Amino acid sequence: MNAIRIRRRLRCFISVLAIGTALAAQPRLSNAEPGSGAKVALVKVTSAKVPVDIASRDRDPGLYIAEQDGLIVRYDPTTRTRTTALNLKRFTRADVERGLLGLIFHPDGTYLYVNYTDSRFGTVVARYVMRDDNTADTATRTVLFQLPRSRPSVHNGGSLAFGPGGRLYVSTGDSGFGNDPARLALDPSSFFGKILSLEPLARDEKSAAPKVWSIGLRNPWRFEFDDEMNLWAPDVGQNKWEEVNVVWAKDGSGRGANFGWSAFEGRTRNNKDQTASGHNQPVYVYPHGEQGCSVIGGTRVRGESLPALRGWYVFGDYCTGRVTAMKVTGQKVQSMRTIAKGAGFITAIRTIASGEVYVLSLGGGIRTFRTLA
């Protein structure tokens, strides 16, 4: 098997083969020191079947875990019980990079939003009213956005975030397998390869009024707006480079930003028939190899559980299981630390409402950081 095929197998993180590999050969975790010298450790909270996202709900102690096969599971840390909050298996199924990919709650906890791929390979964003018993009311299902596609794709984006103007933001992939064959990422009239914004309380798709927020992305996996409305948008690379992007709130939080794909991969020229003059340069890039081959976002630490890393951006790599924290000022990385090694096949690193940071991985389930004495 050549190197490209090996890399593709690694990056198909939600395939059955990857699950089996992760369960059979979990690397051993090691601790590392953040900027202050205090050691941190990843502590397992619960197990999960192919976890891809996690969220919390206002005035609810539960953790809501999106499993790629279509289930949203609520885990109660106090009672250590698991219940099903929503079952989407009639709408989606796990297949390579398709399935249930993202979830988020409205800031007031009233609504649950999901992002998944349907049986025709398209992207669907839907909203549900939450009941008092912490389950989603399926009778209230409202589809806010659909992005059809004519063939299977391994670039589906899949993230959801609330951001500027109280709107709901959605990431989409470029819809192609390599080099953005349809040249959609830089096309401002296309919804592929973008971060989009929607009206979260809309009555239907039309009134959701999707708008392009940022362009020039290949497969933005796990972007977020931090508490200051800075946009952090890692983008999975193709052949050589992985990248992390940031657009500060003072510069528009990503509104109108062009991240350069497919004219550029990282900081390197790619498709020469594409132009991206004046595009936003990534704040950090790393080459495929020892550091990994698939960047997994990612969150800026803002809680009290990791005081030594407050304000740092934490991200992972699927292939190496390495978790990295970096301190960024402007467009420069001021400091960088590896804070965990061997975390398995990482699928997401997220902050919940309490400020705790969670690392999701195949075989490793759900972990959070603890500062060691």
Q: Is-above-0.85 flag for pTM? A: yes
C-alpha distances (whole Å) from 119 to each of 19, 80, 94, 127, 284 are 22, 34, 11, 19, 36
Q: How far apart are CA 102 and CA 111, in angstroms?
A: 14
Three-state SS for 216? coil
Q: Are 230 and 247 in contact (CB under 8 A)?
A: yes
| Spatial CA neighbour of 103 closest among 137, 141, 131, 71 | 71
Q: List, in order, residues 6 or more apart from 54 with CB less than 8 Å away.
A: 63, 64, 65, 66, 348, 350, 352, 358, 360, 366
Rg (CA), the chain: 19
Using one digit for the tens of pLDDT, what is the confidence trace for 22-36? 333 344 455 555 555
| Spatial CA neighbour of 116 closest among 139, 138, 137, 145 | 145
Q: Are 334 and 324 in contact (CB under 8 A)?
A: no
Strands, sheet with 241-247, edge to edge from the N-terminal-most edge strand: 224-225, 231-235, 241-247, 284-287
Ranges of beta strands (E only) in 121-256 are: 123-130, 136-147, 160-162, 168-171, 195-198, 211-215, 224-225, 231-235, 241-247
Q: How far apart are CA 164 and CA 253, in angstroms?
A: 8
Q: How far apart are CA 294 and CA 312, in angstroms?
A: 20
Q: Are 121 and 138 in contact (CB under 8 A)?
A: no
Q: Which two tokens stand for residue 260?
A: 């350069």
For the CA atoms of 14, 70, 54, 48, the dihedral, rounded to the nearest 10 degrees, stands at -70
Side chain identity, residue 28: R
Strand-pairing partners, residue 317, are 295
Of the chain, the end-to-end C-alpha distance in Å amounts to: 46
All structural domains of the chain with their residue ranges: 3-371
The total number of residues written for the chain in this structure: 373
- Cis peptide leading into residue 298 (ω within 30°): yes
Q: Are 349 and 297 in contact (CB under 8 A)?
A: yes
Domain 3-371 has CATH 2.120.10.30: yes
pLDDT in tens, the chain (373 residues): 333 333 443 444 444 333 333 333 344 455 555 555 568 899 999 999 999 999 999 999 999 999 999 999 999 999 999 999 999 999 999 888 889 999 999 999 999 999 999 988 899 999 999 999 999 999 999 999 999 987 766 899 999 999 999 999 999 999 887 899 999 999 999 999 999 999 999 999 999 999 999 999 999 999 999 999 999 999 999 999 999 999 999 999 999 999 999 999 999 999 999 999 999 999 999 999 999 999 999 999 998 889 999 999 999 999 999 999 999 999 999 999 999 999 999 999 999 999 999 999 987 799 999 888 6
Q: How far apart are CA 115 and CA 317, in angstroms?
A: 22
